């Protein structure tokens, strides 16, 4: 029987994110959250050191699922409808966390920045030499996409976690899409799509000032 926590395949996750983009170029919330749940499974497979990261992602996915199960669920059908609804009803804290500490906009913005990290990291992995260090690839992408938004303590904890990652080839194998070479091929197929259809890119800019930087 498939184990929901360990049954992970990166290809399936990428398909979920691909399904996010509707014909009208909307980013649909449900497949977006399904994609994230797949990434949580992957994080859980990486060991206890990554638990604090997967816990944070899970909390954010649960915030969004709560909106999707509320009376306002139609307004959270897509990222675009969410932004429109929350902004026009003053449901977003722009300067500091106050009346709306867990708005959909601030929550998705953080997930969106993390996807930018993932995009850079996967591309780094794909194009790197066989003997490259996974931890360096992770750190380089992290410094570009996420570090600016994290306080010192988180930055240190993340760097420590990166050091426990397996070698490049072992890491490619954990994606469960075949040999390292096959994983690289799959990533090469997926990268143009990830770059073009990066979920949320069209309605949330990574540096949008929503709430405090952390
Ligand atoms: C392959 C190795 C995976 C490493 C993941 C690299 C990303 C590092 C992210 C570090 C998150 C640290 C824990 C908590 C951070 C939160 O403070 C912030 C801001 O949220 P707030 O406090 O304002 O509510 N959370 C985030 O920035 C979201 C981070 C999500 C990271 C998801 C990683 C995706 C993993 C994919 C695996 C292939």
Q: Which atom of ligand 1 is nearest to the CA of 154?
A: 12
pTM assigned to the model: 0.89
- Centre of ligand 1 from the C-alpha of residue 57, in Å: 7
* Residue 179 neighbours by CB distance under 10 Å: 11
Ligand 1 pocket check for 198: Cβ under 6 Å:
no
Instruction: Give 130-134 contacts, CB < 8 A, sequence gap 24+.
Output: 130/168, 130/169, 130/180, 131/168, 132/168, 133/167, 133/168, 134/162, 134/165, 134/166, 134/167, 134/168, 134/171
According to DSSP H, which parts of 89-133 are helical?
104-127
Instruction: Pick one of 3.40.50.300, 1.10.10.60, 1.10.3520.10, 1.10.10.10 as the CATH number of 10-197.
Output: 1.10.3520.10
The confidence score (pLDDT) of residue 51 equals: 92
Ligand 1 pocket check for 102: Cβ under 6 Å:
no
Ligand 1 pocket check for 144: Cβ under 6 Å:
no
pLDDT digits (tens, 9 = 90+) for 167-212: 999 999 988 889 999 999 988 888 877 765 554 555 555 444 444 4
Instruction: Report the C-alpha gap between 115 and 36 in whole angstroms.
Output: 9
Ligand 1 pocket check for 110: Cβ under 6 Å:
yes
């Amino acid at each position: 029987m498939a184990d929901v926590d360990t049954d992970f395949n990166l290809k399936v996750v990428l398909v979920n994110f691909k399904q996010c983009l509707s014909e009208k170029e909307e980013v649909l919330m449900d497949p977006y959250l399904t994609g994230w749940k797949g990434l949580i499974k992957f994080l859980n497979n990486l060991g206890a050191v990554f638990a604090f990261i997967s816990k944070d992602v899970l909390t954010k996915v649960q915030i969004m699922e709560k909106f999707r199960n509320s009376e306002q669920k139609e307004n959270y059908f897509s990222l675009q409808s969410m932004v429109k609804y929350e902004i026009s009803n003053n449901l977003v804290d722009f300067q500091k966390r106050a009346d709306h500490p867990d708005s959909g906009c601030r929550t998705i913005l953080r997930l969106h920045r993390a996807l930018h990290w993932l995009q850079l990291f996967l591309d780094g992995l794909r194009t790197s030499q066989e003997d490259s260090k996974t931890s360096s690839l992770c750190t380089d992408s992290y410094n570009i996409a996420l570090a600016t938004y994290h306080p010192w303590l988180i930055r240190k904890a993340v760097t420590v976690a990166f050091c426990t990652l397996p070698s490049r080839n072992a890491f490619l194998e954990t994606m469960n899409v075949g040999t390292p070479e096959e994983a690289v091929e799959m990533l090469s197929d997926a990268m143009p799509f990830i770059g073009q259809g990066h979920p949320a890119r069209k309605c949330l800019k990574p540096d949008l000032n929503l709430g405090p930087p952390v």
